[in-house]
Amino acid sequence: MAAVRTTDALVAAVSVVVLSLFFNNLKSKSSSSKSPKLSESKKKSRQGLVGAVGNTPLIRINSLSDATGCEILGKCEFLNPGGSVKDRVAVKIIEEALESGKLTPGGVVTEGSAGSTAISLATVAPAYGCKCHVVIPDDVAIEKSQIIEALGATVERVRPVSITHRDHYVNIARRRASEANELAAKDKISEQIDGKEAEQLNGYVPNGEKHSSSRSMNCKGGFFADQFENLANFHAHYEGTGPEIWEQTRGNLDAFVAAAGTGGTVAGVSKFLQEKNPNIKCYLIDPPGSGLFNKVTRGVMYTKQEAEGRRLKNPFDTITEGIGINRITQNFMQAKLDGAFRGTDMEAVEMSRFLLKNDGLFLGSSSAMNCVGAVRVAQAIGPGHTIVTILCDSGMRHLSKFHSADYLSQFGLTPKATGLEFLGIN
């Protein structure tokens, strides 16, 4: 009996070992079958703040799609870390400048911007070890300069003047970069002189005193971002926004529409999409005071009346911020456009309130104008088409003007529509 019991015990022990080996094997198999998922999810984590820029969602704007019979899709650029489409541009400008050696780590990036690009540059510059100095017109919503300052950048608010004036905010920003470069050059010379002094002393620094080059401001030079003429802007959209739209729609889109400020977005996206499929129609929506509608539709910047000097004193006499321009930039020149529409301030205001009420989308003025453009395109090409536009930034940036009832009433822009009747849809 004892022998039997011993055998039983042995069998039981062996079974436990075999079973535990079996289960361990199973466990390790199942955990190894999980590991690709784990590494996949690891792959999905993005690198730092810069890695969080781009790859924004493309959403169906339900109210406009239902009203027009088209699929109207909005690229949610307001979800970028710096809150706007300009994050892409800031990243690309800094990366190209660092690669070319025109900007060195620790240097200052300067820009003349009506706000969004400045916010984006101020947001991403520290991630590259750089500083930021922005010059903006003093009629831009105050919350924009408050944000830039809070981000640690230097802000200069100046009177809006013509681009041909030396004190236009863009020209001042260019000057600030040159000044930083002059300072850096002086620092280098004094470092060299001090270096020579030190050499003459065989490198001896008396009483452990700091080397006299500590007099220097330690300026690492400046780089003028120049979002209007710098093609890094166009590249950001040609290499980023355009391909993302193509992938997100699986190439199933009929039209793209956007307003232009620098023209970087409309140029980069339209060129990419038309290279992929020349049948995709690309359009501009142009705000009041801008000459681009005439340029696209008639090949000239100004209408006859405008050429006769009857243009508005301030050609940007619109409440939409960041869009509309009266010159052709290097970035805009890359655009492949099939046509253009005009949008009014009233339409943009009504559109923003309509989207807020019907879709919960709280958008800035250029996004609202882009959506006006999307409806105009839908009306022009008819139902059954897919139209993509850009939701550039959120309404949070526009509380003191575009989303202020008091401000709008001063300009007779109090919204009153109940639906889309302002665009002829009942």
Size of the chain, expressed as the number of residues it contains: 426
Q: Which stretch binds ligand PLP (CB under 6 A): 114-122, 214-222, 296-304, 346-354?
A: 114-122
∠ at Cα 212 (207, 215), nearest 5°? 130
Give the Cα separation of 87 and 79 in Å (integer).
10
Least distance to ligand PLP, CB of residue 322, Å: 3
* Near ligand PLP in 392-411, by CB under 6 A: 392-393
The correct pick among 117, 123, 145, 394 for binding ligand PLP (CB under 6 A) is 117
Q: Please identify, using beta-carbon distances, which residue of 347 and 393 lies nearer to ligand PLP.
A: 393
Q: Please identify, using beta-carbon distances, which residue of 84 and 110 lies nearer to ligand PLP.
A: 84
Fill in the DSSP letter of residue 165.
S
Give the Cα separation of 313 and 209 in Å (integer).
59
Q: Please identify, using beta-carbon distances, which residue of 170 and 219 lies nearer to ligand PLP.
A: 170
* Near ligand PLP in 53-92, by CB under 6 A: 84, 86
Give the Cα separation of 88 and 182 in Å (integer).
29
Nearest CA among 58, 65, 74 for reference residue 375: 65
Least distance to ligand PLP, CB of residue 128, Å: 21
Q: Please identify, using beta-carbon distances, which residue of 113 and 181 lies nearer to ligand PLP.
A: 113
Judge contact between 372 and 356, C-beta under 8 A.
no
Least distance to ligand PLP, CB of residue 224, Å: 16
Report residue 123: phi and psi, to 5°. -70, -45
Exposure string of 152-181, with b = 16+ CB inside 10 Å and e = fewer, is ebebbebebeeeeeeebbbbbbbbbbeebb
Q: Please identify, using beta-carbon distances, which residue of 289 and 364 lies nearer to ligand PLP.
A: 364
Q: State yes or no: residue 263 binds ligand PLP (CB under 6 A).
A: yes
Least distance to ligand PLP, CB of residue 86, Å: 6
Least distance to ligand PLP, CB of residue 46, Å: 23
Question: Taken in order 15, 20, 23, 25, is the CA torsion positive or negative?
Answer: negative
Task: Report the side by side order of strands in the sheet with 222-224.
Answer: 154-158, 131-137, 108-112, 222-224
* Near ligand PLP in 316-335, by CB under 6 A: 322-323
Q: Which segments of 24-120 are extended strands (E)? A: 58-60, 71-76, 108-112
Least distance to ligand PLP, CB of residue 116, Å: 3
Q: Please identify, using beta-carbon distances, which residue of 78 and 246 lies nearer to ligand PLP.
A: 78
Count of residues in contact with ligand PLP, rule CB under 6 A? 18
Q: Please identify, using beta-carbon distances, which residue of 70 and 136 lies nearer to ligand PLP.
A: 136
Residue nearest to ligand PLP (CB): 322
Least distance to ligand PLP, CB of residue 25, Å: 57
Least distance to ligand PLP, CB of residue 188, Å: 35
| C-alpha dist (Å) from residue 373 to 199, 234, 282, 369 | 67, 21, 11, 6
Q: State yes or no: residue 116 binds ligand PLP (CB under 6 A).
A: yes
Q: State yes or no: residue 364 binds ligand PLP (CB under 6 A).
A: yes
Residues contacting residue 249 through CB under 8 Å, at least 6 positions apart = 58, 73, 386, 388
Least distance to ligand PLP, CB of residue 268, Å: 8
* DSSP string over 214-250: GGS-----EEE--TTT-THHHHHIIIIIHHHHHHHTT
For tokens 């100095």, name the residue: 133
Least distance to ligand PLP, CB of residue 208, Å: 51
Residue type, 242: G
The correct pick among 74, 137, 264, 289 for binding ligand PLP (CB under 6 A) is 264
Q: State yes or no: residue 265 binds ligand PLP (CB under 6 A).
A: yes
Q: State yes or no: residue 170 binds ligand PLP (CB under 6 A).
A: no
Give the Cα separation of 235 and 54 in Å (integer).
13
Q: Which stretch binds ligand PLP (CB under 6 A): 54-62, 179-187, 194-202, 254-262?
A: 254-262
Give the Cα separation of 361 and 243 in Å (integer).
24
Q: State yes or no: residue 119 binds ligand PLP (CB under 6 A).
A: no
* Near ligand PLP in 189-208, by CB under 6 A: none
Least distance to ligand PLP, CB of residue 228, Å: 8
By CB under 6 A, name the binding residues for ligand PLP: 84, 86, 114, 116-117, 260-266, 322-323, 364, 366, 392-393
